[in-house]
Chains A and B, each alone.
Chain A
Amino acid sequence: MKTYILTRVLLAIPMILIILTIVFVILRVLPGNPVLAMVGPKAPPQIVAAMEKEMGLDKPIIVQYGDYLLNIAHGNFGRSTLTSLPVIQELMQKFPATLELTIFAMIVAIFIGIFFGTYAAYYYGRTLDVVARVYSIFVYSFPVFWFGIMLQLIFGVWLHWLPVSGRSSPFMIPPHVYTGLYVIDSILNLDWPVFVDTIRHLILPSVTLGVVISSIFVRMVRSNVILSLSSQYVVASRARGVKEKKVLFSHALKNAMAPILTIMGLEFALLLAGAVLTETTFSWPGIGSYLISRIAYRDFPAIQGAIVFFAFFIAAVSILVDIINAWIDPRVRY
């Protein structure tokens, strides 16, 4: 197991290096001078030169590349040109919001996937199955932000049930922040009103994102359960008189669960892209909103930091998923 984890981590290094290189090429080599973009075209040349020197842009490109990689390796993402704060500090402050949103979206997607998929398989070829299949087609064609706006319209504007933006109401943040995940913090603080407020804010964004990525789960669970329903162990347990519900959920579904973890890993990139759009739609203060808002200010260290951060996040999740997979299923080994 140890060797497996080590190999898996080592294998991720070239991938991260390639992504870092591409980000570097995009942000430094493509036309467009970041300094000019920040100070404006009319700035005196001395100031431009001084700023270029400060940001290390006067050095040869290959030296810049080396500095860039070294800095990232040291966790130094530079300082934001807007707030002068270290970018890594700002990112760490925004990260829990993104993490909370993606975790809950994943929960929504898996929940829909398991229930809808299992029942669709059970009623194979009947109405519920057709509904599940139509669902997975349409949900894919929804632009995530459009779906989010529609939910805001229905549940926020028409029904007034749920808040449509932000992570919490004013003054409703957990008094002691332990993890930055408000759901967990409010439980740790035993603060019931804050917990309710947090959940109320979380519902629409996570349902939006969860529903849009749920269709792959519905499809996968459905086709796997169909397969295992026709297997011998299901026939055997039915013959022994095991209740249908138990056959379905503890025999058929359990054996169909294995691929779900793999899909979770594969879906993660799609989930993150969706998270950027969802965060913007719901003014959710995560890394996606941070990235988009800093583009307007031409805050290049922040833009670069956010994108590099996403790259590490994806790599970390894919390593984690593979390790869990190997831990659950001993057949998975290099």
Chain B
Amino acid sequence: MANTNYDNQMISARIGRGLKDLLGDSSGVMAFVGLILLSLFILIAIFAPLIAPYSPIKPSGAPFLSPQWGHIMGTDNLGYDVFSRFLWGSRTAFVIAVFATLLAAFVGIPAGLFVGYAGGTVDRIVTMIMDSIYTFPGLILAIAIVAMLGPGVVDISLAIAVVYIPTYYRVIRSQVSTIKSELYVEGARSIGAKNMTIISKYILPNVLPSTIVVLSMNIADAIMTEAGLSFLGLGMVPPTPDWGYDLANGQRFLLQNDWWMVFFPGLAIILIVLGFSMFAEGLDEYFNPNIGEKR
């Protein structure tokens, strides 16, 4: 089970598997590094107003300053401090990614639980629908939804959430369909336990660990998708600090060789995605210690 069960289309799942490949038995180290990266970004997101040297939405100096003392990541075309936007951008990323992930989980997990438990025709139909959404490129689906709903934290989160519902559904459903034929479930049924009791007391606790792993993988992917949407100009409205928007904005001035405007926002995305993937993979290892996947 473990990893092979998780979404292969998820970037974070793939990163995690690669890391496990690289580090082998020392994956505890990986989880630790992931945790440190994550905690760092969470702290940055919480304390951004205190750490950031300038306001992210007010000019703080001359435009196009290269990285230097006082502006360690330089300034952009409006004189905004790139470092301050780098820090504040983590808030936008977290808020949208966490909101989207929770939304997707709230729909996908119960759907997977009940449909997987019910089985039969309902199962076949719902699974076919979920699989169809799953095979369609998530970003393009999110683009369509955002195009209709317009920009805004809730709308973007909703668009991203829809994309990831099938991920939860598939993971949970496939586990439920194995667990429901286990002896202890059969035992519970034979002493007359109600379906709801079986689902909540016997099945849910068994699928919960993998749900947590998928949640943290999902946050990484949601951050990527959000950055993609705002890079395309479909994300948060400027001047909200947002890494994807900053990248698109910086690209307009690329010919002037202002590399700092594009390098640092991308670095932030890479670090946060790596952090979540490492953490998720470490968690997986912790919850499923016996699964040694030889590759």
Interface on A for B, CB 8 Å cutoff?
14-15, 18-19, 22-23, 26-27, 30-32, 130, 133-134, 136-138, 140-143, 145-147, 149-150, 152-153, 156-158, 164, 215-216, 219, 223, 266, 269-270, 272-273, 276-277, 280-281, 291-292, 295-296, 303, 307, 310-311, 314, 318
Cβ-defined partner of A30 (8 Å) among B136, B137, B145, B244: B145
Using A277-B228, A280-B231 as known contacts, say yes or no to A152 and B254 having CB atoms under 8 A apart: yes
The reply to whether A22 and B8 contact each other, CB–CB distance below 8 Å, is no
Q: Known: A137-B19, A216-B14, A276-B140. Is A145-B270 also a contact (CB below 8 A)?
A: no
Please provide the chain B residues from 30 to 77 with a CB less than 8 Å away from any CB of chain A in the complex: none
> In whole angstroms, what is the CA distance A311 to B269 when docked?
29
Cβ contact of B18, chosen from A19, A137, A152, A164, cutoff 8 A: A137
Contacts of A314 in B (CB 8 A): 135-137
Verify if B233 is at the interface (C-beta below 8 Å from A).
Answer: yes
Contact B144 A303 (CB under 8 A): yes
> A26, B148: Cβ atoms under 8 Å?
yes
Q: Does B257 lie within 8 Å of A276, measured CB to CB?
A: no
Residue of A nearest to B134 (CB): A269
Interface residue? B185 (CB, 8 A): no
CB atoms of A277 and B231 under 8 A apart: yes
User: Which one of A133, A134, A143, A272 contacts B137 once the chains associate, using CB atoms below 8 Å?
Assistant: A272
- Cα distance A18–B150 in the bound complex, in angstroms: 24
Q: Is the interface of B mostly helix, strand, loop or mixed?
A: helix
B22 to A18, Cβ gap below 8 A?
no
Closest A residue by C-beta to B9:
A270
* Interface residues of A, dominant DSSP: helix
Q: Judge whether A133 and B18 touch: CB under 8 Å.
A: yes
Asked whether, in the complex, the Cβ of A26 is within 8 Å of the Cβ of B145, the reply is yes
**Closest Cβ–Cβ distance, residue B198 to chain A (whole Å):** 30
Q: Contacts A26-B145, A133-B18, A266-B8 hold; do A311 and B136 have CB atoms under 8 A apart? A: yes
* Residue pair B262, A150 in contact (C-beta under 8 Å): yes
Complex: how many Å from CA A153 to CA B18?
28
Closest 8 CB pairs of A and B: A146-B266, A273-B137, A273-B139, A18-B132, A137-B18, A133-B22, A269-B137, A295-B147
B124 → chain A closest CB, angstroms? 11
- Please tell me if the beta carbons of B262 and A307 are within 8 angstroms of each other in the complex: no
Contact of A18 among B129, B227, B231, B269 (CB under 8 A): B129
In the complex, the answer to whether A273 meets B147 with C-beta atoms within 8 Å is no
Q: How far is the CA of A291 from the CA of B11 in the complex (A)?
A: 24
Residues on A with C-beta less than 8 A from B135 are: 15, 269, 314, 318
Q: Which of B150, B244, B254 contacts A153 (CB 8 A)?
A: B254
- Distance, CA A331 to CA B14, complexed state (A): 29
Contact between chains at A149 and B251 (CB < 8 Å): yes
Assess whether B232 is interfacial by the CB under 8 Å rule: yes
Nearest opposing residue in chain A for B159, CB measure = A26
Determine the distance from Cα of A266 to Cα of B7 in the docked complex, in whole angstroms: 12
> CA A175 – CA B188 in complex, angstroms?
75
